[in-house]
Amino acid sequence: MNAMIICVGKLKERYWREAAAEYGKRLSRYGKLETVELPDLPEPLKPSPAEEQKIRAAEGAAILKKIRPDDYVIALMIEGKAMDSVELSRFLQSCYDKGKHVVFVIGGSLGLDPEVVKRADAQLSFSPLTFPHQMARIMLLEQIYRGCKIAAGERYHK
């Protein structure tokens, strides 16, 4: 595994940080996983559509600065492709087998800028439901970990 998670916003609560640290520890035996946290830009109480787009564009520009031209980018978004854990494991393993550096992108509360979506090689959805970005990040870590266990032929909970 050679992957990175780029996410807008920090894990503020201790329980989220502890969960991320636990999955980071578990994943370390499978390869390298880097996490890049970008600032969640302040949002007016009742932003206009133009203000929302300006925030998305600024967050998107910060995300795109962290992505290299040869990275394989997977944007997490509701409209993305839903996969079960085995399918996701196979998909990620095929990327790693090709020597790809996989970059997962989790946007802020306003979603991803269209330029980030355009740069993405794939779009992944965990559900049609909306989740806080902290929870989406922990769910992603868990699924990457589960995928590594599946690919290694190890036991995992179904």
The string of pLDDT tens digits covering residues 96-145 is 999 999 999 999 989 999 999 999 999 999 999 988 889 999 999 999 99
- CA angle, 12 then 15 then 18, to 5°: 100
Q: Which of 13-22, 55-64, 112-121, 129-138 has the lowest mean pLDDT?
A: 129-138
- CA angle, 1 then 80 then 14, to 5°: 60
Report d(CA 85, CA 102) in Å as an integer.
17
Domains assigned to the chain = 2-41+52-151 (3.40.1280.10)
Task: Kindly give the interhelix angle for 133-151 and 85-97, rounded to the nearest 10 degrees.
Answer: 70
CA within 13 Å, CB half, 142: 13
Report d(CA 152, CA 137) in Å as an integer.
23
pTM score over 0.75: yes
